[in-house]
A and B are shown apart, each in its own frame.
Chain A
Amino acid sequence: AQTVTQSQPEMSVQEAETVTLSCTYDTSENNYYLFWYKQPPSRQMILVIRQEAYKQQNATENRFSVNFQKAAKSFSLKISDSQLGDTAMYFCAFMYMNRDDKIIFGKGTRLHILP
């Protein structure tokens, strides 16, 4: 069965620092998507970044980037120049590419950005 593991339940960093959130997953499939979602206290789920497994290049969105290691089944999120507004719960998620009937979420990492 597919699983997504986020090994850091909670993290704190100082504003302006760089932080990396880890995510590993387990699958026997070759084609899939990986996502990072941000969930602030309002409970919205904001899509931060998305990676297609067939793409070698790591996805980047402004201050957010991923380190996608397909062989190691690792998908970490790096937040550069962290801001107070980055304080949130972050979920890593996995979805099949050709049968998008299921998305599997990790348990989340609560990130605190300290002033």
Chain B
Amino acid sequence: EAQVTQNPRYLITVTGKKLTVTCSQNMNHEYMSWYRQDPGLGLRQIYYSMNVEVTDKGDVPEGYKVSRKEKRNFPLILESPSPNQTSLYFCASSFFQGSTDTQYFGPGTRLTVL
């Protein structure tokens, strides 16, 4: 089954404790992206990657890091989480930017930073 998986689905942590949210897709997609969803603000793009070892900042990259060492994986790293990073996070993938192919979304990760 074609899918995007994220782990963990729920995470409560404390300020400053490094964490990683994993994202994996099994569709051989080149393009992967991270978004955060906040009430009233819709989805905002954090980082994206057009292929292995190619990453770029989205609209709200501050406080986040990503890596793309393999095509299927695109982890989101919070080196020193802060309460304003409490949000719902989505990973997504598609064949390549600007294509007519639809983007597939993961199930979301609810992060709470105390």
Contacts and interface: CB of A to CB of B under 8 A. Distances in A.
**B interface, how many residues as a size bin?**
20 to 34
Contacts of B55: none
Nearest to A109: B102
Interface in A8-51: 9-10, 35, 37, 39, 41, 43-47
B108 interface: yes
Interface stretch (B18-26, B42-50, B66-74): B42-50
A92 interface: no
B43 A43 contact: no
Contacts of B97: 41, 43
14 contacts: A35-B42, A39-B103, A43-B58, A44-B59, A45-B35, A45-B44, A89-B102, A100-B88, A101-B88, A101-B108, A102-B107, A103-B105, A108-B103, A110-B100
Interface of B: 9-10, 31, 33, 35, 37, 39, 41-45, 48, 58-59, 88, 90, 97-98, 100, 102-103, 105, 107-108, 110
